[in-house]
Structure 1
């Protein structure tokens, strides 16, 4: 979501300044001095989204659940201060088997280096099994360390466009080692109720071997409490 770099510390770039107070657009956190666009992207990402409506409408389309929540990094003070950031945990699973995610990652949401975009940086944790259904834990127990976050993999840079955020990986994609792909690319459109992604994996010859083809993955926000 594979190149090994020292990104977890984002040396000279970012610090997580998580302060639990009132409410960050319903996710229970607010960050002092954090740019509004970072907070907005976090509010759009957190919660539960599914492609179930698309799966019902399009033959062969997968029904996937994506669950995302804010986490607190216990040793965040080890990160060099420059721009504030928020860490999220995210996992994807088939809606038919939500207790068995097939993709798990941490996201670091922060201002881009030029201050014009929001960077969503992906990290792959070393101990996936320990994090299964991590978002089901109470907020006070969603505490991790820098070591738990794992290695940096890729970034998507989101640009505000009206009520949406639109972004993509760098044109050449990101190094990967996932389901046979050595490179991945992604293009995202995100708003308060939905997310559209063109997530694709490519082999060493540049051939696409998995992911979106002509049609994107279309996630819609759902309320699990209302569905029960």
Structure 2
């Protein structure tokens, strides 16, 4: 990424120099603007960067919107009817795609049990990483902010707290499918006597499957579904 930026910056500097030279020539009544061409390697790197960013936007679009596990809950009473809402925030930032995310039981939409900010970014190897960050203070004051992101007020990334080790790493496994999860046992959790938590995720155009579990120090599962992931399907307005 940094190499592409350096090459692109060098091209911009050369272009500005060319414009300046022509402008001086224009004062004497001659010259036209001719931008210097990118060399082959720079053009290739720039093209790859654009492709990666387009792919990141595509996956972020899959993860944005309102989703429900209602159909799964009807089939299997081991699963609850959960609503998941994700909306993009800070769209003008260039350090990834930022999402505000809520999860709540269908009958208690104003009392979400999970509120997070995700920062999606794509690596040079094509892997998509979802950083997980928590909100400051009492998160419930932002409940249902997905309906109106202005309620997040002056919140900035500097106000958030990252959860190291809880990043979800996604790999493209089919044209319309990304799969992955957390890595190892590095996502600390104290919920329900847990020592660490894991997340396994599948993302596609119609929704996402998410399997969040907590384990104690001996590796015994202490919270989360024991049967498999929650299946969140997009709610069509």
TM-score, normalization: structure 2? 0.70
Distance across 2 between alignment mates of 1:138 and 1:196: 25
Q: Give yes or no for the alignment of 1:122 onto 2:132.
A: yes
Match of 2:118 among 101, 104, 107: 107
Distance across 2 between alignment mates of 1:138 and 1:212: 31
Gaps of 5+ in 2: 1-48
Gaps of 5+ in 1: 1-31, 77-82
CA contact (8 A) 2:91 2:97 kept: no
Q: Give yes or no for the alignment of 1:88 onto 2:99.
A: yes
1:73 CA drift (Å): 7.8
RCO greater where, 1 or 2, for CA within 8 Å and sep 6 or more? 1
1:70 CA drift (Å): 0.6
Q: Give yes or no for the alignment of 1:187 onto 2:200.
A: yes
Q: Give yes or no for the alignment of 1:42 onto 2:60.
A: yes
Q: How does 1:104-183 map to 2 (within 5 A)?
A: 104-112=115-123, 114-127=124-137, 128-137=139-148, 144-153=155-164, 154-161=166-173, 162-183=175-196
Q: RMSD of the alignment, in Å?
A: 2.4
Distance across 1 between alignment mates of 2:109 and 2:215: 27
1:130 CA drift (Å): 2.5
Task: Write the deviation string for residues 42-96 of structure 1: whole angstroms up to 9, x where unpaired.
Answer: 101110111110001112311100100011189x6xxxxxx83011110100011
Aligned residues: 185
Q: Which runs of 4+ in 1 moved over 4 A?
A: 138-143
Q: Give yes or no for the alignment of 1:52 onto 2:70.
A: yes
